[in-house]
Structure 1
Amino acid sequence: MNHIAKKATVTAIGLLLGTYMYAMVIGNAANSTIVSSPDYEALKVETRSKKENFAENESQKEEEITTLEKGLTESDSLDEDELSAEEESTVEADYEEEEQEEEDEETDSERIERVCQKYKSSLVEEPSKLSYHHFHVDNRNKLLYCFIPKTASSLWKAINAILNGKTSETNASKINNYTAHFVIQPELLHHYPAKTQETLLESYYKFTVVRHPFYRLVSGYRDKLNPGKKWFKKTYGTKIIRKYRPKATVKEIRSGTPTFSEFVDYLTDPKTVAVPKRVDDHWTQYHRLCHPCNVKFNYILRFESLKEDTDHLLSSRNLSDLVTYKYIAPATNAKKVNRYIRQLKIEKLLQLYKVFEIDFELFGYDFDIKEYLT
């Protein structure tokens, strides 16, 4: 009930009570039988007394009504204040919750440490058993870059060559992929003595670039097998078709162009999974190339935010003036990836995820099977 309604109700109640009491007084007087003058005089006194009492009662009721109205007004004001306070408290609580969520969000290093503990038996290796073939050394700027194929490795190999002084070119985009991968020879951590490796891993700034595992697989399949490169088609494609395509013709086998589903059959085959060293680097799991449970990376770049992350790294290391590059959007986008992944049966999709599950968890990529169901 609002303030005006409350006031009207109280006033009405007061008037009704007053009218009722006045009627009682007049009624009693009218119904009295005047038998004698003394009785009449007594009745007059009694009536005057009742009128005075009535007036006094009326005055009291007016005071009560005023007090009640004041109380209602204060109550309404109090309710409004309390509501505002409650709303303010809710907003403040929501804000604090958002702040807490931001504070509680895992950093890359925290998440990697947690996942490494979860899979400790299979991820943490003895240093002597580790291979550092994928770690490029930049002694000029004290950087260690672990390259992962199909995660902008061509760009970062070119940047690394410029920073190391292995080329006079300063624009990384003008160094073609062939030159970046095969002509310019980087310094690899693998070539250093064990003691030096340990020192560099401890003191140099370590980083890598990662990408959603499924996007990387589709990109690798399209680049190496369909339409692909001759060496990859001959080395992997022909074998995949021969094994996973029933009644394949000689022509089909020689084409070296397996379907994406056949490619996934190969990746999820227990024999392939059991011998990961035989799997090409372009579809080997991240953790087998860069050992994130043994190497504490300072920075993880995301292929999905490559330009921002690359600019940030160069700027934070005071290297922005030494190198330039032109960002080019990747050819393998979400639409293309979904078209390939949706070719897989649910059971096969789940098997594929299982093969790369640790990479998904280590680098915070989500897997939602509903995303790929048609």
Structure 2
Amino acid sequence: MVGRRRLWSVCILVTTIFIFIASQVLLLSYYKMREAATIRNPYTDMNEVDNTGPMTSNTNKNFMQHFLSSYPDVDEDSIQLFLHLKSLQYGERRKLVNNYCSQSNNSFGVTITNQTFVIDSADKVSYCMIPKVASSTWSTHFAHLGNATDLQLHGYRNALQSLVFRLFPAPPMDEIIPAVDKTTSLVIVRHPMSRMASVYQQKFVDLAKTAWVRICKYIVKYYRKLSHKSSKLFDPEVPSPEEVTRYIISTFATRRSVNVHWKKQHDSCPFCATNFTIYAKSEEMSEDSLFFILKSNITANRLNITTRINPSKNNEYNFWSEVPVPVIRQFVQVYLLDFLIFGYSARDYLDNLNISYDADIITV
């Protein structure tokens, strides 16, 4: 009888200890879940976020920054809010573009060639490529979607754009827009002055003595004498920022063939022939890339959106501080529609670089 009582007491003690340990484990799990939920969604009250207002509001900016830094450790409500806010932003950009399309002649924003779009019908995504606007990066992304081999990627490392058009041949001309309209379509634009500085660094500095040597010598020969600084200050084989800017302006004035790397962005994609799903900006590439993979349901193992090919290494201040304000004014006039259609400001850009200008000269 005594042995049974002892056995019963031991059983009760073991059960009590087990219940205590289990309760502590459950309690710890509960607090961890609460902590994780707080990390994933700091905006548990969605009323804190203006889901009808512009992305420029501080609350929405704060949400976006936290979402990007936390992803993929975010909850479904945050994902849906992110997609909603970005869709509103793209809607505003689409409206601005369409307003100009409705006022333009029939030739604006409708030109299409067999190398205008990269169309991946299997994944239901497409991309209109504008040179010097993350085009190498997104060509690489689509090359991966097209299952390009390492050998292909290496062989086309300096011509990735050509590779993706081989991987995704265009359909017949009259089928291109209908095919694009069935996809999550992407177009990316960039501040015209930032793009110009990037063109200068990559083409007129890095390649000045190799692939672009002839055009660089031509610019130095004919535009150095117009420079506001002594020619002794410059490399005899590398054109200065002012000289290149003057030359590019002249290519539009003389109606000579305009190189695709400085072709106007609104002329580079058929903005008036289709409504893109994503109107991305290179300045917001992290947000727009994430929207692309979430909207298209492409898994992260197929598309690494953190990859950047040929990231810009130019110093934009060093470039534009060497260009006289009257020449900047001419540049803005040439690219005026790119500023207006895509919501960019030359004044804000120069202010951010701490470059002084006359407000009566630079009006945009």
| Range into which the TM-score falls when normalised by the shorter chain | 0.5 to 0.7
* Partner SS for 1:136: strand
| 1:367 Cα offset (Å) | 2.1
Give per-residue Cα distances to partners, 1:49-85, cap 9 Å, x unaligned: xxxxxxxxxxxxxxxxxxxxxxxxxxxxxxxxxxxxx
The answer to whether the 8 A contact 1:211-1:302 is kept is yes
CA RMSD, Structure 1 to Structure 2 (Å): 3.6
- Partners of 1:140 and 1:198 lie apart in 2 by 16
Mark the CA change 1:156 to 1:355 in structure 2 (over 3 Å): closer, same or farther: same
Equivalent in the alignment of 1:130? 112
Equivalent in the alignment of 1:33? none
- Partners of 1:352 and 1:254 lie apart in 2 by 23
- TM-score calculated relative to the size of structure 1: 0.61
Equivalent in the alignment of 2:356? 373
The answer for unaligned runs of 5 or more in structure 2 is 1-46, 56-87, 228-232, 358-364
- TM-score calculated relative to the size of structure 2: 0.62
Pairs within 5 Å for 1:218-297: 218-228=197-207, 230=209, 232-246=211-225, 256-269=237-250, 271-275=251-255, 278-297=257-276
Give the letter for the 1:264 counterpart. T
The answer to whether the 8 A contact 2:219-2:244 is kept is yes
Equivalent in the alignment of 1:81? none
* Partner SS for 1:284: coil
Find the partner of 1:216 among 195, 209, 219. Answer: 195
The answer for unaligned runs of 5 or more in structure 1 is 1-94
1:114 and 2:96 matched: no
Find the partner of 2:303 among 295, 302, 323. Answer: 323
The answer to whether the 8 A contact 2:186-2:276 is kept is yes
- Partners of 1:368 and 1:220 lie apart in 2 by 21
The answer to whether the 8 A contact 1:266-1:272 is kept is no
Mark the CA change 1:183 to 1:123 in structure 2 (over 3 Å): closer, same or farther: closer
* Partner SS for 1:144: strand
Equivalent in the alignment of 1:164? 146
Give per-residue Cα distances to partners, 1:269-296, cap 9 Å, x unaligned: 2x534526x1221111111211212232
- Paired-residue identity, %: 20
The answer to whether the 8 A contact 1:137-1:186 is kept is no
| 1:354 Cα offset (Å) | 1.1
Mark the CA change 1:314 to 1:167 in structure 2 (over 3 Å): closer, same or farther: farther
The answer to whether the 8 A contact 2:115-2:165 is kept is no
Pairs within 5 Å for 1:323-342: 323-327=303-307, 330-332=311-313, 336-342=315-321
- Partners of 1:146 and 1:360 lie apart in 2 by 19
| 1:123 Cα offset (Å) | 5.4
| 1:320 Cα offset (Å) | 2.5
State the number of aligned residues.
Answer: 265
- Structure label with greater radius of gyration: 1
